[in-house]
Amino acid sequence: GADEFARGAQHINGIESFWGYAKNRLVKFNGVPKKTFYLHLKETEFRFNHRHDDLYKVLLKILRNRPLG
């Protein structure tokens, strides 16, 4: 219904999967400053969403579509 956050276990499993991935990745930094935590979390989100892809090719495609200069 309208007051439900999500239906079924699949959505919760996805969140738990991401959070486990994020914790494992972020623990390697031995702490992250509050000032840059958001950026680390966004990078982790990007890496999680593309974990089955070749990151080099993904980044190259992004840069070709949206050049920095």
The region, left, alpha or beta by phi > 0 then psi within -120 to 50, assigned to residue 60 is alpha
In a domain, 2, yes or no: no
- C-alpha of 39 from chain center: 10
Range of the domain at 30: 9-65
Question: What pTM value is reported for the model?
Answer: 0.75
In a domain, 1, yes or no: no
CA 36 – CA 38 distance, rounded (Å): 6
Report how many domains make up the chain. Answer: 1
In a domain, 44, yes or no: yes
Per-residue pLDDT tens over the stretch 5-64: 566 655 667 888 999 999 999 999 898 999 999 999 999 999 999 999 999 999 999 999
Structure confidence at residue 60 (pLDDT): 96
In a domain, 47, yes or no: yes
In a domain, 57, yes or no: yes
In a domain, 3, yes or no: no
